[in-house]
Structure 1
Amino acid sequence: MEKRIWLITGISSGLGKALAERIMDSGDLVLGTFRKENQVNEFNKANQGRGHAYLLDVTDHLAIENVVVAIKNVYNKVDVLVNNAGIGFIGAIEESSMEEVRQVFEANFFGVLKLTQEILPLMREHKAGHIVQISSHGGLKAFGGFGIYNASKFALEGFSEALAQEVAPLGIKVSLVEPGPFRTQFAGSGLLEAKRTIPDYNETAGAFRAKLKGVDGKQEGDPAKAAEAILQLVNDETPSFRLPLGKTALLTIEMKLDSVRDDLERNRSIAENAVFI
């Protein structure tokens, strides 16, 4: 079977690293991105014939265009795009500055959107491909103290849901992966915090800050098992649109569905009467 070509952003650590290693072990080719030149060089030296790395900050849209041109010139296709790179952010809504919010959205939404747009022509040309968006259980359910991050992932899920409908007739698949807490650097070095703190939010957003930082290195999720699940998702002839990962993800997503269902039933008659007769 011909090697598939995977483009995976953010493979220096965590889920991205685990996925890149699993894909290369499976016999497919990984095109991965790093933010540091030395990481690119080390990866290329260690993985000749198995993968190739590019220097890329997903918030740099010109760099995205240049990387995609380079990939097209050498490989002329991408079978699987995994938008994995992103950042975490904690802080109450009022505590969050516009600059901090834009930083989160540039990484978690606009960068993903731009790379997806740049890869789509290649997939349309071949009438095949699979786009895997690494979202979060926080892409369906929000948590006090996590609202800006939640908003960026809600936005990712929104455009991906529409995209799936647009590209299905073209032979292209789209999936959202929604992990709960995994043992990566997300709650450690990969986590940004609002510079401003407001005492009135100590019991809500402040408590969430402390809780999230307190679980660093103790999270339930195994990145290697998540990587295996993503590989199985892509190998599936009819892959799921949403793939939750971890017990916590199942619990929180079920809580969100119950909440929406309760509000729907409570207000059904009001909704039905808010129309012209």
Structure 2
Amino acid sequence: MNPVNTKPYELPPDAVWLITGCSSGIGREIASLVASKPNQRLIATARNPSSLSYLPNTNPNILKLAIDVASVGSVDAAFAAGAKHFGKDFCLDVVVNNAGYSLSGDTEAATEEEIHEEMETLFFGTARVTVHAIEVMRQAKDHRGGLVFNISSLAGLCGFPGHAYYHAGKFAVEGFTESVAREMHPDWNINFCIVEPSGVNTNFEGQSKVHTKPHPAYAADDMPSRKLETFVNKATGSSVVIEPSAVAGTIFTIASRGECIPLRLPLGVVAWKLARSKFVDLLGELDTVKELSVMGQAI
């Protein structure tokens, strides 16, 4: 299997960052952090560019753009605008695919429109921005490589009741990213990191979370989805919830520390523990079905 991220990544002193979903939460914190660094250049994007007013308008190192990752034309236009703003030798060094929202609720109640909109934003949007970024990175004249952070979630590793299509989108992002990472020639030095935070203290429960219409068959308090909702509501605001500024700081540290990039990074105590528990349990399950799996073949 082709290895990934085999060389240490050196963040250029004048790196260009493109970040999606900068209106709030993790995206806003990463954009603010990059904007505070001397000589780092930033393309900050959001569906509504007025939500980027926290960034200065007079700094030539900062470009604020409207982008809808669910629109091919919008993504094309954003990359073209970035190239125009930063010049003909435009190099894209770091991409943070952060745009997204959660679709939660009873899976039977989800409409076709809700399902397709969720997958279009979470998966196809991430994929089209990633592919654009790879093209720019590998064609750069100085061949300085690049780094793509795809913001997944603990939901990209573990499935919980009441979020089936959100999990589907994040699982898709993880499989896509791992596959694309293995397509890269080592000489290109194009690196990928799947970031998997657990609960983050953002407005994710507000404008970034869509609920399906409740289904009466799943309304009882003893249903798994209702139990999870109760647990999550109690955990909101607790010490296990990660601050978005901490996520932003970790992402910048990974990009700037001059070491090999981890392909996967669970963030937060909850994410790390549950990720480890899942893989330990999976090893046990593999042992249980070993005889069925190998079908008499020698191992």
Task: Verify same fold: TM over 0.5.
Answer: yes
Aligned residue number for residue 186 of structure 1: 204
Does 1:120 pair with 2:131? Answer: no
Residue 186 of structure 1 aligns to a residue in which SS?
A: helix
Q: Which has the higher contact order (CA 8 A, sep 6+)?
A: 2
Whether contact under 8 Å (1:43, 1:53) holds in the other structure is no
CA distance in 2, matches of 1:232, 1:24: 15
Matched-pair identity in %: 27
Whether contact under 8 Å (1:58, 1:85) holds in the other structure is yes
Deviation at residue 2 of structure 1 after TM alignment: 3.2
Aligned residue number for residue 177 of structure 1: 195
Aligned residue number for residue 240 of structure 1: 262
Aligned residue number for residue 42 of structure 2: 30
1:77/1:142 Cα in 2 relative to 1: closer, same or farther (>3 Å)? Answer: same
- Return the letter of the residue paired with 2:211: E
Aligned residue number for residue 99 of structure 1: 113
Which range moves more in the overlay, 191-200 or 83-92? 191-200
Which range moves more in the overlay, 67-76 or 204-213? 204-213
Question: Which structure 1 segments of 5+ residues have no match?
Answer: none
- Return the letter of the residue paired with 2:213: K
CA distance in 1, matches of 2:268, 2:56: 34
Deviation at residue 207 of structure 1 after TM alignment: 3.0
Aligned residue number for residue 146 of structure 1: 163
Aligned residue number for residue 224 of structure 2: 204
- Return the letter of the residue paired with 2:41: L
1:167/1:47 Cα in 2 relative to 1: closer, same or farther (>3 Å)? Answer: farther
Whether contact under 8 Å (1:184, 1:217) holds in the other structure is no
CA distance in 1, matches of 2:58, 2:25: 18
Whether contact under 8 Å (2:33, 2:248) holds in the other structure is yes
Residue 94 of structure 1 aligns to a residue in which SS?
A: helix
Whether contact under 8 Å (1:178, 1:244) holds in the other structure is yes
Question: Which structure 2 segments of 5+ residues have no match?
Answer: 1-11
Identify the match of residue 286 of structure 2 among 243, 251, 264.
264
CA distance in 2, matches of 1:117, 1:9: 14
- The structure that is helix-richer by fraction is 1
- Return the letter of the residue paired with 1:240: P
Which range moves more in the overlay, 173-182 or 110-119? 110-119
CA distance in 1, matches of 2:112, 2:284: 34
- Count of aligned pairs: 276
Aligned residue number for residue 227 of structure 1: 248
Whether contact under 8 Å (2:49, 2:64) holds in the other structure is no
Deviation at residue 188 of structure 1 after TM alignment: 2.5
- Return the letter of the residue paired with 1:34: A
Residue 108 of structure 2 aligns to a residue in which SS?
A: coil
Identify the match of residue 179 of structure 2 among 155, 162, 177.
162
Aligned residue number for residue 74 of structure 1: 85
TM-score, scaled relative to structure 1: 0.92
- Return the letter of the residue paired with 1:200: Y
Aligned residue number for residue 84 of structure 1: 98
Residue 193 of structure 2 aligns to a residue in which SS?
A: strand
1:241/1:60 Cα in 2 relative to 1: closer, same or farther (>3 Å)? Answer: same
Deviation at residue 121 of structure 1 after TM alignment: 1.2
Residue 81 of structure 1 aligns to a residue in which SS?
A: strand
Whether contact under 8 Å (2:16, 2:42) holds in the other structure is yes
Whether contact under 8 Å (2:106, 2:214) holds in the other structure is no
CA distance in 2, matches of 1:274, 1:54: 58
Aligned residue number for residue 111 of structure 1: 125
Whether contact under 8 Å (2:63, 2:82) holds in the other structure is no
CA distance in 2, matches of 1:248, 1:197: 29
Residue 54 of structure 1 aligns to a residue in which SS?
A: strand
- Return the letter of the residue paired with 2:197: P
Does 1:6 pair with 2:20? Answer: no
- Cα displacement string for residues 197-235 of structure 1 (whole angstroms, at most 9, x for unaligned residues): 233364112333444455555561011111111011112
- Root-mean-square deviation (CA, aligned residues, Å) is 2.1
CA distance in 2, matches of 1:191, 1:155: 19
TM-score, scaled relative to structure 2: 0.85
- Cα displacement string for residues 88-141 of structure 1 (whole angstroms, at most 9, x for unaligned residues): 111132222221111111110011111111222110112311011000011010
CA distance in 2, matches of 1:37, 1:72: 18
CA distance in 1, matches of 2:110, 2:60: 45
Aligned residue number for residue 16 of structure 1: 27
